[in-house]
Structure 1
Amino acid sequence: MIITSSSIMASPSYHVNFDAPRGSNNTEFLPISVASSTCDCHFRRSPSKTLISCRPSKGRGYLQIRNGRFGIHYNSPKIFTRTLVARVDANLIDDEDPIEVIKAHGSSETDADLEQQQKSSQLLKRVVSGLGIGITAGGVVLTGGWVFSVALAAVVFAGTREYFELVRSRGIASGMTPPPRYVSRVCSVICALMPLFTLYKGQIDVSIASAAFVVAMTLLLQRGNPRFSQLSSTIFGLFYCGYLPSFWVKLRCQLLAPALNTVVGATWPILLGGQAHWTVGLVATLISISSIIAADTFAFAGGKAFGRIPLTSISPKKTWEGAIAGLAGCIATSVVLSKIFSWPTSMLSAIGFGLLNFFASLFGDLLESMIKRDAGVKDSGSLIPGHGGILDRVDSYIFTGALAYAFVRNLLPLYGV
C-alpha cells in the first residue's frame, strides 16, 4: 500500500481501511515497514492491540494501526510533500518480529523553512515587478502625449475587465443580476477609448453621457427581464473605470503652463523638448504619483511597526497608526518635491496638495477593498506577479487624478507658478 499526498495547505485527516491477508483475524498483528518524510517516528507495542503508534516531532497528529484498521491523523499549517509507505509481509506474523523504520527523503526540511522560502520568493516577485512597473511608468509619464494616453488606455481596459469579473463573481452575483457578458465587453472598449478622446477632444462629458445612454438602452431592450442592478453596476463601471482615470490625461497633457523655475527643466536636453517640456502638468503628475507611492510605503511600514487600532472593517489590516504614517509620508514627499521642482511656490499649497493626494488615494483603496470583499476574493486578478491584478495596483490613483486636476486648475492661482 502506498499513500502519497502533496500540496496540502489545510489541516488534512485521512482514514484508510487496512485489509489483512486471508486467514488472519482482527486480533492478529502483522509487521509493517514504514517510510515517512513528514515526521520522526517512534513505535511501541501495547496491550491495547496497537501495532504502530507514530507521533511527529513537529506539528500535531499521529499514525496508528489498530485491529486491522489503518488510520492517519496529521494536522500541520503547511505541508508540501508527504509520502507514507506501509508494506504487509504475510510470512512474518510473530509479534516479536522487529518493525523497520525508514526515514525518508526531505525530513530535515521543516515547515518553517518552506514557509520562509515561499515568502522570500513572493517578496522577490513583488520587488522585481514593482521596479519594472515603476521604471516603465516613469518613462511614460515623462514622455506624455499619445504615449501616455495609449498606456493609460491599456491599463483602463485591463482594469475594466477585472471590474466586470468582480461584478460577475459568486459573492456579488448571488445578491444581484450581473450585466450580460457582451455588455461588459463593450463597456471595456468604451472605457479604454475615453483617455484617447480626452487627449484629442479635450472633453469627454458628451462622450460619457452618450455611452451611458447607449448602454442603458441596450440593457432595457435585452431579452428577458432587465434588472436595475445590471444598469447600476454597468453605469458605475463606466464612471469608475473610464471617466475618472481620464482625468490623468487632462492633468498631464492639458496643463501646458511652463514650470519656469524648475531647475531640472533648465538642464533638460533640447532634443527631448528642453525647458518647455517641463510643464505644470508634468510636475503635478510626478508629485502626485510620488506622493501616493510614499503614502502606501509609509502606511505599510508604520502599520507593521506600530499598528494596533483598526482603521475600518472594510480593510482589517489597515490601522490608524499606519494611516497617520502614510499621511506624514505623503505630505513630506509633496513638500520636498515642491522644493526640488520649485512648484507650487507656496508651502501651504504643497501641504494642501499632499493632503488631497493622501485622502484621495486612501478612499480609492478602501472602495476597491469593499468591492473585493463583497466579491469574496483577495485580489482583483493575477496579471501582475506578486501584486495581484491591475485594480489592486491602481486603486489609489483612480480618484486622485480628478481631484489633483481640480486642485491645480481651480484652486491654485496662476496654476501654482
Structure 2
Amino acid sequence: MIGAGGWPFASLACLAAWQCSREYVGLLQASGMASGMEPPSKLTSSTVTLFCVALNVWTAASRGRGSTPLAVAAFCLMFMQLVDAHKPRFAQLASTVFGLIYCGYLPSFWLRLRMLDVPAINSQLLHSWPVSLGGLSHVTVGLVATLTTVACVVGADTGAYFTGRAFGRTRLHSISPKKTVEGAAGGLVASVAVALASWRFLGWPSGPAQAAGLGALVFVSSVAGDLIESVIKRDAGLKDASNLIPGHGGLLDRLDSYLFTGACVYFLITAVLPGFGV
C-alpha cells in the first residue's frame, strides 16, 4: 500500500480512521469514563466516525488540505451535542473533538507525508522495487520518508521490548508500569539506527545528523502516542481498546505509536529539514 500510494494508501488510512474512531467512542462509553457524565449518543458516535473518515477522504482528494474541514467538522460536532445532549458538559465537547483530531486528523498526516512528491532520491534499491509489489515509476521523498518512519516505529517498539525485558529496572512513567527507562533507551537507539540505515541505503535524509534527528523524533512521538492512549484506557477502566485482535487488543492499541508520528515527521520534513532532507 505504501509503495502504491494514491487512493490505495488513502483507503487504508480511511479504514484505520473508521476502526480507531469506533474503538475510541467505545472507550468514551465505558463505565469508568462515563461516570457522572452522559456518554455520547449513537448519533454523536456515528458522526465522529463519519467525520474521521471524511477528513482522510478530503485530504486525499485535495492533495493534503485538511485544516478548514477540521474546523468545520469540530463546529458541527459541538453544535450537534448542544442540541442532542440533555445536559451537555465541557468534558463531552472536549472528548469528542479530541477524538476527531486523534482518530481522523492525525492519520491524515500519513497521507500528506506520502504525497511529498519531490523526485530527488537516488536509491538503486528502491528503483529496483518489483513491479508486482507496487511498480514504482519514480521514487519520491514521500515514499522513502513514509517507509523510513514506519520502520523507525517498528524498530523503536522492538528495541524497547527486548531491551526492557533484558535490562528493565527503572519505571519510565506511572501511566504504563511495564515501560522502563532502560527499554526506552533501547528503543531510542533502535529507532536512530533504522533512520541511519535509511540514510546509508536509501539515500534519505541527506546526512547522518538529519537521520539521527529523525530517528529520535519518531521515538519520542511514538512513545508519547502510546502513553496518551494508556491515559485514555486508564480513565475508561479498560485494558484494551477492543478485542478486535485476539490477544493484542484493538487496532487503536496497535496504531497508537503511529498516530502522532506522521504529523511530527511531516512537520520536520516540511518546516525544519532544508530541501525536504534531500
Using structure 1 for the length normalisation, give the TM-score: 0.64
Q: 2:111 aligns with which of 231, 249, 262?
A: 249
SS at match of 1:143: coil
Distance 1:223 1:310, change over 3 A: closer
CA contact (8 A) 1:178 1:229 kept: no
Q: Answer whether contact 1:335 1:347 (CA < 8 A) is retained.
A: yes
Residue of 151, 167, 173 corresponding to 1:312: 173
Partner-residue secondary structure (3-state), 2:176: coil
Which residue type is aligned with residue 338 of structure 1?
Answer: W
Of the three residues 41, 56, 60, the one matched with 1:199 is 60
| Counterpart selection for 2:77 from 215, 233, 243 | 215
Match of 1:49 in 2: none
Q: Deviation of residue 175 (structure 1)? A: 4.2
Query: Is 1:232 aligned to residue 91 of structure 2?
Result: no
- Partner residue in 2 for 1:75: none
Change (3 A) 1:296 1:268: closer
Please state if 1:185 is matched with 2:42: no
Deviation string 1:113-168 (CA, Å, 9 cap, x unpaired) is xxxxxxxxxxxxxxxxxxxxxxxxxxx11111000001110111000000011011
Aligned mates of 1:241, 1:266 — CA distance in 2: 33
Partner of 1:176: 37
2:20 to 159, 162, 171: 159
How far does the alpha carbon of each residue in 1:91-132 deviate from its partner, in whole angstroms, 9 at most, with x for none?
Answer: xxxxxxxxxxxxxxxxxxxxxxxxxxxxxxxxxxxxxxxxxx
Q: How far apart are residue 382 of structure 1 and its match?
A: 1.1
SS of aligned partner of 1:224: coil
Larger helix fraction of residues = 2
Distance 1:266 1:168 in 2: 48
TM-score, normalization: structure 2?
Answer: 0.95
Within 2, Cα distance between the matches of 1:171 and 1:262?
Answer: 51
Q: Distance in 2 between matches of 1:314 and 1:156?
A: 25
| Distance in 2 separating the partners of 1:174 and 1:210 | 29
Report the Cα distance in structure 2 between the residues aligned to 1:265 and 1:393, rounded to whole angstroms. Answer: 27
Give the residue type in structure 2 aligned to 1:286.
Answer: L
Contact 1:156–1:242 (CA<8 Å) still a contact in 2?
Answer: yes
Provide the C-alpha distance between the structure 1 equivalents of 2:85 and 2:171, rounded to a whole number of angstroms. Answer: 46
Q: Provide the residue aligned with 1:148 in structure 2.
A: 9
Inter-partner Cα distance in structure 2 for 1:226 and 1:183 = 12
Which of 114, 117, 141 does residue 280 from structure 1 map onto? 141
| Deviation, structure 1 residue 196 | 1.3
Q: Is the 8 A contact 2:4 2:136 kept in 1?
A: no
Partner of 1:126: none
Which deviations, in whole Å up to 9, do the C-alpha atoms of 1:203-249 show, x marking residues without a partner? 11111111111111111122522222211111111111111111000
Within 5 A, what are the aligned runs for 1:320-339?
320-339=181-200
Residues 283-304 of structure 1 deviation map (CA, whole Å, 9 limit, x = unaligned): 0001100000010011010111
Find the aligned partners of 2:91 and 2:151 in 1 and give their Cα distance: 37
Aligned equivalents of 2:275 and 2:85: distance in 1? 54
Residue identity in the other structure for 1:307:
G
Identity of paired residues, percent? 46
Check the 8 A contact 1:178/1:233 in 2, yes or no: no
What amino acid is aligned across from residue 114 of structure 2 in structure 1?
A: R
3-state SS of paired residue (1:381): coil
Name the CA distance, whole Å, in 2 between partners of 1:205 and 1:226: 26
Q: Contact 1:159–1:390 (CA<8 Å) still a contact in 2?
A: yes
Structure 2 runs not aligned, ≥5 long: none
Instruction: Name the amino acid aligned to 1:391.
Output: L
Give 3-state SS (helix, strand or coil) of 1:318's partner: strand
Aligned pairs (5 A) from 1:3-402: 140-201=1-62, 202-222=64-84, 224-253=86-115, 255-268=116-129, 273-276=135-138, 278-402=139-263
CA gap of 1:337–1:175, structure 2 versus 1, over 3 A, is: farther
Alignment partners' CA distance in 2, 1:274 and 1:328: 31
Structure scoring higher RCO (CA < 8 A, sep ≥ 6) equals 2
Check conservation: 2:3, 2:136, Cα contact below 8 A.
Answer: no
CA displacement at 1:259 relative to structure 2: 3.6
RMSD: 1.5
